[in-house]
Amino acid sequence: MTPFLFSDSFETYLSAEKRYSQHTIVAYLKDVEQFFIFSGVCRVSELSEISSKVMRGWLVSLINNSYTNKSVNRKLSSLRTYFNFLKRNQHLSRNPLTGVRGPKSEKRLPQFANEKDLFATTKVEMESLSFEALTNLVMIELFYQTGIRLSELIGLKNLDIQNLKIKVLGKRNKERIIPISNELNELLIYYLKIKKQMEFHSIWLINTNKGNKVYPKFVYRKINNYLGAVTDLEKCSPHVLRHTFATHMLNNGAGLETIKELLGHANLSATQVYTHSSFAQLTNIYSQAHPRGHK
């Protein structure tokens, strides 16, 4: 990655003050680097030359290079954070992005699996499974029953499993406690027991067959294979199980505020995307409750 002006201090700011994840920090740094390559600015004295006109020119170049509206707006967010950082440290007198709006993002409804598809394959005898199959089952059930993110699952430690609940370290190092079912609790206790028998000394909850901490591609591949086998979804990622968790919770009567807390969303607007899925539930209630609904 090519260093840009104040790149080191900006990275420290994102990590120490904004408390962003490493994945987010890398994305922000790449976005800002891309802008500096476009603008040609390489000296502190040239920062004042960055105007809203330059910013709009960069937006046009991104769109012309087939970036999606969502990607363009994420890059704008990265730049806006960077310029605010410069202004805060008196390297800039104004934010050149003031008044600059990004393209309207297309709204895509989250995909989710049907309950019957998931239930049909996860009701198995734990004792009959190999360690690899047991690990896959643990990951599937954790994603579906708690709605945690991929990074949160990888970051789970053995000690995070408590009596009928798990402790999750989410975005910006924010902790939350998620209740779990008796069945999932028993599955996790059994998994820890098997790991002990195999003399795995890792502090991390989910391990490979060699006792090492799992990594994103490992988890993605396992979940992708599972969802591809039991559903006809176009996208078969761990995040689909997070969407499925939220959708099924909503359809079975959970409130948005509750789902927001369980998912670890910072605000309710991020959770409201799941309200689309409750229409089937509303239709069902209407048909039962209204005198003429059943007709």
Q: Which residues are catalytic?
A: 149, 171, 239, 242, 265, 274
Contacts of 163 by beta carbon, 8 Å cutoff, 6+ apart: 185
Rounded-to-integer distance, Cα 215 and Cα 86, Å: 35
Question: CA nearest 47: which of 13, 98, 96?
Answer: 96
Q: CB burial class (10 A; 0-12, 13-18, 19+) of residue 58?
A: buried
- Cβ atoms of residues 211 and 165 within 8 Å: no
Which helix or strand (DSSP H or E) is residue 166 part of?
strand 165-169
Residue type, 86: L
User: For residues 269, 273, 278 and 280, what is the CA-based torsion angle, rounded to 10 degrees?
Assistant: 150
